[in-house]
Structures are given as structure tokens and as C-alpha cells.
Amino acid sequence: MAKGDAPTGVVTELGAEKAEAEVDAGFEFAFNNKAFSDRVLRIEVVGTSCKRRRYKAKDNEGEGIDSSCVVMGTPGLRVKTIHVSSVILAARSSFFFKLFSNGVKKSGQRQTKIRIADSEENAFMELLKFMYNGRLTPTTESTLLVDILMAADKFDVVSCIKLCSQRLIGQPMTLESAVRCLDIPCSISMAADLSEAAKKFLSKRYEKFLSTNELVDIVVTKSLYQGITCFQDELMKIPLAGIVAILSRNHPGVASEESVYDFVLRWAHLQYPNSEERHKILSSSLLPLVTLGRIMTNAIQTGQSSCIINFSIKREHCCGLFPSRSIRSPPFYCAGHGFFLSALAKTESFNFFGLLIKKLEGNGPLRGTIDYEMEVTARRSSEFASISRRTTTTDIRQAFGCRIPWSEISADDSPFFVDDNLHLRVRIKITPQP
């Protein structure tokens, strides 16, 4: 080890600060100092409600050059002017290098215009200071670091991108910064590391919440739109990548399995109002991560007013329901309404195994005629045989389906299982009231 080197694995606070400095410091005195500046940067700050599109930054009457996507469409809410050195900014940013290189074609033009959103203002000012002194404020909060990172990416300040990424990974995240890190463009050099750090934060934050009865108490007793508690409110706002990270890295306790399944359906209903898109997200990304979603597999054929659904449930899962548990299938849709199949065990006047079709919340009552039939494959013939057929014209608020004596399901020679699987086919046709 060379003289003066720190031992391996030991980084002093001073050394960490030196490691963070990606550009030479020493030009801080020149920031917004007219005596050491050759340009005036006119910063037009506009409202965030404006539309975004590509535009051309230009040096007054100079030819424009393509920039990043920025806010356009309304007059600036306010204007700030800062004296800058074109040499310093061009040395740190390829964006400013192109901008100022283009500007020198016209002599005597010292003012350069930049238009940003008001939400970008603080981050942009921090970025300008960084280009002069090579440092970020040590106490910079994580959400502002994400803003600075995005500004650095927008204006091609590579050294700042690296420093912001290191800071975000090295310091505690907040819920807001973690969610935003999931949306960082993959073109940013450390986007994958930031995404991984955000996923770890989210999975840890909700680890206890998903593995206890707390979720049961919240999800089962509160509707989708009312009475949302603090944690559930947070979860409902987390994007798909965050929900996937939480579910894939946590294993719900037995008591909360059904409630986690309920939560996933509610989250998807809120985030994806379009039923086809929602079904795709649930089937491909979410339900495979939920225990109850993996127990029942299904194949669906749908029409505008009818559908045929094939379910397969393992014998061990059916028998594991006794005396009072239930499992649910992935959702399916018919005539614009969502449903799911519930398999359950009940001990009322007699013990039975129930196969019930239930309606998902959120679409309002379904009024009309429903023709449905349930069929199962029999052990002897391996062909589908009808076990329940009915037409109902009532206001569909309750479940509909059939009951099978538990003794017929639990028997070793039960006729309902083929190769230890219960194969069920459900046909539904809905005729709405005129």
C-alpha cells in the first residue's frame, strides 16, 4: 500500500467528497459575474401545464439547433437573466457546446434563450452551479437529486449524471424519489442501478405491511374509492414496476393472501380503466406473482355478450380449502362486466364445496338475463359433463354457481379429478335489459 493511501474498504468523509467531484472546481467566483462572462443566459420559466415538444434553442437571430424536449406554447411566466461563460458551459455540456458554436456565426449577439418548466427551475439552477464548481450541495434531498439528474441528462452534463446517480444510490430514498427512479430513461448510464435501488426500497418499505393482517383489515373492509388508509393510498399510486417489485420480493402471510389478491385487482382497476388493457396487465405481470392467482389457471374465449372460460384447479388446492377458505381465479370479462370464479369450502347445515361466479366491484349492478352452465370432466370418460345450468333475470349482485357435497370432493376416488386436477368449463351469456 502506497504511503498516504487509505486502507482497502475505508473511505474517509473527505475522500468521499473528493471522489464525488467529477469536474475541476475553482470557477465558482465566475458564476453570474459579468466581469468573467461573455454571454447572458435568458431563462424563460413557463407553467408545467403547457405542452411539451421538441424545439430549437437559438442565439437571438442565430440559426437554431435541436434541443431536448421542453415546454412550449405559452408566454413565460417570468424571466431570469444570468451572466455565464460560454467556455465553462461548453466544456461541461455538449448541449451548450453546440448551442454556443452555432451562436458565434452571428457577431455581436450575446444573449442566449433557454425555456424550461417551472418544475425544472431549481434543478436547472443547481446544474448551472455544478458546471462552475463541480459540486452538489451535500444536503441535497433525494427528490431534488432526481430533478438534477433529469436536467443533467436533458442538457448532456455527463459528469453530473454520474454524481447524482452515485448520491441517489448511496443515501436513503424517499417514496417519491423511489417511484421517480423507476421512470428514469434507460439511456442514462446508471438507470439500471437506480431502478434496482428503488425496487429494494419499495419492497422493504411494504414488507411488513404485506405479511400481516393489517392488509386484511384495510382491503376487506374498505371500498376502492372510500376510506383509503395511508399505506393503501401510497400503494395505489405506485406504478406497475414498483408493484411488481413489491410482490416479487415479498411473500404474504397466509392470513393476507386473499387480501393481497384483492388489492392487486383494486390497484389494476384504478390504474387501468380499460378492461382489455387491465386484463393483459393482470394476466401477464401481476397475478402470476400472487399465490392465489397461481392456484387457478384459466383460458378464456370471449365475445361481446358471451364467454367460455376453462379453469384447472389441483386436487391439493381444493382439499386445502376445508373448512372455510377460498381461492379466486384471475378476472374475466363479459358484456363489459368483470367476473371471477371463487372455489370455496363451507360448513353450514352440511359441508360443501362451492364453485361460484362473482362480479368484480366498480362497474355497478348488472341487470339483464344471464344464462350460465358449469361443466367438469369426469374421471371415467374424460369428457365434460354439466353439473349446473341456470338462467337468472335478477339484479346480479350476489354470486351464482353450484354446490357439491364435500364428501364427493374429498373422496380418494372422487369422480371430479382427472390426473389430480379438477377441469372446469364455464359458459356465460348475458342479455342486458332493453
Where are the chain's structural domains? Answer: 13-137, 294-434
**CA dist 181 → 6, 145, 244, 289 (Å):** 33, 10, 15, 22
Does residue 350 register a pLDDT over 60?
Answer: yes
Q: Which helix (H) or strand (E) holds 123?
A: helix 121-133
Dihedral of CA atoms 18, 19, 21, 26 in degrees, nearest 10, equals 30
| Exposure of 146 in the CB half-sphere (CA atoms within 13 A) | 22
Does residue 353 register a pLDDT over 90?
Answer: yes
C-alpha cell at 41: 443566459
Q: In terms of C-beta density within 10 A (0-12 exposed, 13-18 middle, 19 or more buried), how is residue 429 classed? A: middle
CA-based end-to-end distance of the chain: 87
**CA dist 44 → 67, 72, 91, 94, 374 (Å):** 15, 10, 23, 21, 66
Does residue 401 register a pLDDT over 80?
Answer: yes
| Exposure of 188 in the CB half-sphere (CA atoms within 13 A) | 29
Name 302's bridge partners. 307
Helix axes 191-205, 158-170, angle to 10 degrees: 20
Long-range residue pairs from 342-346, CB within 8 A, at least 24 positions apart, any chain? 342/399, 342/401, 343/296, 343/313, 343/317, 343/318, 345/321, 345/406
> In the block, which residue shows the cell 364467454?
307
Q: Is 183 left (phi over 0), alpha (psi -120 to 50) or beta?
A: alpha
The residue with greater pLDDT, 332 or 240, is 240
The confidence score (pLDDT) of residue 392 equals: 81
Whole-number percent of the chain with pLDDT over 90 = 25
- Most confident listed range (98-102, 212-216, 241-245, 398-402): 241-245
Lowest mean pLDDT among 256-260, 403-407, 427-431: 256-260
pLDDT band at 145 (very low <50, low <70, confident <90, very high): very high
The confidence score (pLDDT) of residue 283 equals: 73
Does residue 215 register a pLDDT over 60?
Answer: no
Does residue 343 register a pLDDT over 80?
Answer: yes
Q: How far apart are CA 370 and CA 366, in angstroms?
A: 10
C-alpha cell at 344: 370455496
C-alpha cell at 193: 442501478
DSSP state of 50: S
The strand pair at 351-359 and 368-377 is best described as: unpaired
pLDDT band at 266 (very low <50, low <70, confident <90, very high): confident
**CA dist 122 → 116, 119, 175 (Å):** 11, 7, 20
CATH number of the structural domain 294-434: 2.60.210.10
Does residue 337 register a pLDDT over 90?
Answer: no
Q: Interior CA angle at 161 toward 158 and 162, to 5°?
A: 90
C-alpha cell at 189: 448510464
Does residue 292 register a pLDDT over 50?
Answer: yes
Does residue 331 register a pLDDT over 50?
Answer: yes
Q: Which helix (H) or strand (E) holds 267?
A: helix 257-271
Q: How far apart are CA 265 and CA 285, in angstroms?
A: 12
The confidence score (pLDDT) of residue 4 equals: 40
Q: Please report the beta strands in 316-432, taking only residues with DSSP state E, as ranges in sequence order.
A: 326-328, 332-334, 337-347, 351-359, 368-377, 384-392, 400-405, 421-432
C-alpha cell at 363: 362497474
Q: How far apart are CA 253 and CA 216, in angstroms?
A: 10
pLDDT band at 162 (very low <50, low <70, confident <90, very high): very high
Radius of gyration of the chain from its Cα atoms, rounded to whole angstroms: 30
Mean pLDDT of 69-98: 79
Longest alpha-carbon distance in the chain: 96
The strand pair at 351-359 and 400-405 is best described as: antiparallel
The answer to whether residues 305 and 337 touch, using CB atoms and an 8 Å cutoff, is no
pTM, entire model: 0.59
CATH number of the structural domain 13-137: 3.30.710
**CA dist 237 → 240, 259, 339, 357, 425 (Å):** 9, 18, 24, 29, 36
